Each structure stands twice: as structure tokens, then as C-alpha cells.
Amino acid sequence: MSTSTPRVTKLLKFARRTATNLVMMDMGNSDDKARLLRSLAIARSARDAPHAGPRRFPVLMALGGGAAAILITAAILLPQLHVDRLIDPAVSQPSVPSPSQAPAAVAEPRRGLAASGYVVARRKATVAAEITGKVVAVLVEEGMVVKEGQVLARLDSVLAEKDLALAKSRAESAEAAIAVIKADLDDAVRIVTRARTLSQRNVMSEADLTKAEARAGVLSAQLRQYQAQFETARLDAQRNAAVLDKHQIRAPFDGVVVDKSAQPGEMISPLSAGGGFTRTGICTIVDMDSIEIEVDVNEAFIGRVGAGGAVNAVLDAYPDWTVPAYVIAIVPTANREKATVRVRIGLRQKDPRILPDMAVKVTFLDNTTAATGRNETTAAN
């Protein structure tokens, strides 16, 4: 039954009592009012007098006063009744219990700890050259998938190629000199052997034997010298070959190119040059297999987070998609300014829609296992 009905009933009863009292008061004082009105009336002739009796006017006044009171009361009550219906429309209708409504209130389960953060990549590198040079070709574009060791760009390598050719020529010259010295040394060793035999027979003097041995010693020293020169030339050639190879910039790991920084014709250097005309990188590569989530948790609630705990992640870009995840680790340091602790969260499934630097909201689930995120009772069974 409507709660406004008793209020309306009380107001109507009050209005009837007020109207009745007004009528009774007007009728009880009708004689006094009639005498007062006659005393104020202007003297008229008999023919100008009204035909109605003197007592009709007070009765009409009383009736008019009662009707006015009723009208005033109705004008007050009707807006109040309309306002009550506008304020509480459900009160005027009897509530019908829903068949699915439970007779007793059910307590809501405790919600998990929520936090927000961003998708990050653990392996992300801006690939740059180790030498200074001019870019002659860039072989990648944004969004391209590259493999480890793949050539991303080439630098001008004319001088490096000439240096390598010169080093190889020096190595070849040293190798040829070694061959000549070896031949002379072999001849000198044979002469020393024959001279020793002749000296024992007193056919060759001691001076000639000493001279042959000295020549063999000199050739042996020259052989070691040319061997060292050859080794130096060989190492120089290897170094120049390595420098030449650095003119081809390669991918350090498998990933996706997310940014292209240089264009053909630009100068590139491992160190930034003044004026801002020298690039320091070719492109930026991200290893999509290393993507994870980093969130900041208030240090007052960090006790509710455990390594391996299950997490539900929802990307702002895909609010209807819940990604299962788990806690990798809690970074053992707190941010003094924000009073938060950083938590690393891994994704149980990889998806190309998950991109670095995307905003994400996570919910740390309660009563879950470290490995699978299933309920503890289920995992125990």
C-alpha cells in the first residue's frame, strides 16, 4: 500500500475540519455581520431596497467563505500530491517480489587488489653503428620482422675496403719474404754441415766454418722477423675485415622494428655530434617474446601480492578482453616519492595485439596457486 495515502487522508480530513469550522464561525456571527453591514449601508428609499431578506446575505457569505476554504485547501493539496508522486513513483505501486530474488542477502566475495601500469619489453634496443660513416642504404621499415644477424643498413665502405686490401697485400708480402728466407736458411744450414765435415778433415779452415755458421744464424733471425711481420699483417687484415663488416649494421636479436631513425645519405656515429646533424641510431627493435607488464602497487597493499600469483590483465585498448597473467617478481625496492613498489607480471599467452607501452589494468586474484592460477583446493585435488 502506498505510503503517501495516509498523508493525503490526513490532509483531506484537516481540510474538511477547517472548512466546517469556517462555515460554523460565519453562520454563528451572521447576525453581528448583518448589523454591522446595516450600520454602514447608505439610506435608500423603499423602492431601492433589495428584494432579498436581510438574513440571506450572511448565509451566502458563510457559504462563500466555506467554498473558498475548500478551494484553497484543494489548491494546496493537489500540488503536494503531484509532487509526492513525482518524487517517489514506486511508492504508489505495490512491490511484487521477483521469483529469482533471494529471501536473504548474499555477501559479495572479496575483490582482488587492482593496479594499473604499462606493457613493457625486456629486450628493446636502438641499433646503431660502431663507427662513423655515411648511410648508403636502409633495408628495414617499421613493423618489419627481422632475424638475428640480418643486415639492417649499410654504410659507405670504400675506404674500409681499400684498407683491407692493403692489409692483405702486406700479409702476402710478408709471407713471400718468409719463403725466401726459408730457402736461404736451408742452404746456409747445408753449408754449415759441409763446412764442419771439411773442417774435421782439415780441408776447410776454422774461419770459413765460423762464417758459414754466422750466415745461417742471420738467416734464422730474419726468418723469425718476417714471420712476425706476416703475423702482424695477418692480424691487421683481420682487423680491417672486421671494420669493413661493421659497415653493415645487423640485428642483435629476433624482433620487430618499431622505429626507423636514419635515412640514406645521413651521417651516423656512435657518439652524438654537435649541431644535431649526425644520427646515433638506425632503428629500434623490440623482442615481442619478452613483453611483460609493470605496475606500481601501493606499499600498504604489497603484502597481498606474491610471486607466482595469478593475475587478470585488461588492456585499455581492449576492455572486453581479459588476459591471464602471473606475477614474475616483486622488485625489491620502493619508490619513496610515490610510496609504491614495482611488480613484474608475465603473460600466459602471447598475442600480436599486445604492444609495448600500452596502458593496462590488472587484478591480483586471491587464493590462487603460483604456477597455474587455479583455485588452491582444485590444485590440491
CATH number at residue 346: 2.40.30.170
Q: What is the pLDDT of residues 38-51, one digit of tens each?
A: 655 555 544 444 44
Task: Tell me what pLDDT residue 62 has.
Answer: 45
d(CA 332, CA 232): 51
Q: 132: domain range?
A: 124-155+247-286
- Say if residue 143 is in the same domain as residue 163: no
d(CA 342, CA 305): 11
Residues 6+ positions from 273 with CB-CB distance below 8 Å: 267
- Say if residue 184 is in the same domain as residue 74: no
**Which pTM does this prediction carry?**
0.54
Task: Tell me what pLDDT residue 349 has.
Answer: 86
- Say if residue 355 is in the same domain as residue 300: yes
Residue 113 lies in a domain: no
Residues 6+ positions from 32 with CB-CB distance below 8 Å: none
Domain end (from 28, 58, 87): 87
Residue 226 lies in a domain: yes
Spatial strand order of the sheet with 283-286 comes to 124-127, 283-286, 255-260, 145-146
Query: Which CA distances in Å does 66 have to 12, 15, 20, 71?
Result: 15, 10, 7, 9
Residue 95 lies in a domain: no
Residue 51 lies in a domain: yes
Task: Tell me what pLDDT residue 182 has.
Answer: 86
What single letter denotes the amino acid at residue 131?
Answer: I
- Say if residue 180 is in the same domain as residue 298: no
Domain end (from 87, 114, 142): 87
Ranges of H-type helices in the chain: 4-28, 30-40, 56-87, 158-200, 206-245, 376-380
- Say if residue 134 is in the same domain as residue 178: no
Residue 143 lies in a domain: yes
Residue 201 lies in a domain: yes
- Say if residue 233 is in the same domain as residue 308: no
Task: Tell me what pLDDT residue 277 has.
Answer: 62
Task: Give CA 374 to chain center in angstroms.
Answer: 26
- Say if residue 255 is in the same domain as residue 305: no
- Say if residue 150 is in the same domain as residue 262: yes
- Say if residue 303 is in the same domain as residue 270: no
Residue 199 lies in a domain: yes
Contact between 96 and 122 (Cβ < 8 Å)? no
Task: Tell me what pLDDT residue 210 has.
Answer: 81
- Say if residue 376 is in the same domain as residue 295: yes
Residue 37 lies in a domain: yes
Comparing C-alpha atoms, which of 326, 252, 254 is closest to residue 290?
A: 254
Task: Tell me what pLDDT residue 164 has.
Answer: 92
- Say if residue 195 is in the same domain as residue 253: no
Domain end (from 217, 244, 271): 244
Residues 6+ positions from 251 with CB-CB distance below 8 Å: 127, 146, 147, 148, 149, 150, 152, 285
Q: What is the pLDDT along the chain (381 residues), one digit of tens a residue?
A: 445 566 656 666 666 666 555 545 555 455 555 665 565 555 554 444 444 444 444 444 444 555 555 555 555 555 454 444 444 444 444 444 444 443 333 334 445 789 999 999 999 999 988 888 899 999 999 999 999 999 999 999 999 999 999 999 999 988 888 888 888 888 888 888 877 777 777 777 777 778 778 888 888 888 888 899 999 999 999 999 999 999 999 999 999 999 998 889 888 888 765 455 667 789 999 999 999 999 999 999 998 999 899 999 999 999 999 999 999 999 999 999 999 999 999 999 888 899 999 999 999 987 544 334 443 333 333
- Say if residue 183 is in the same domain as residue 170: yes
User: What domain count does the chain have?
Assistant: 4
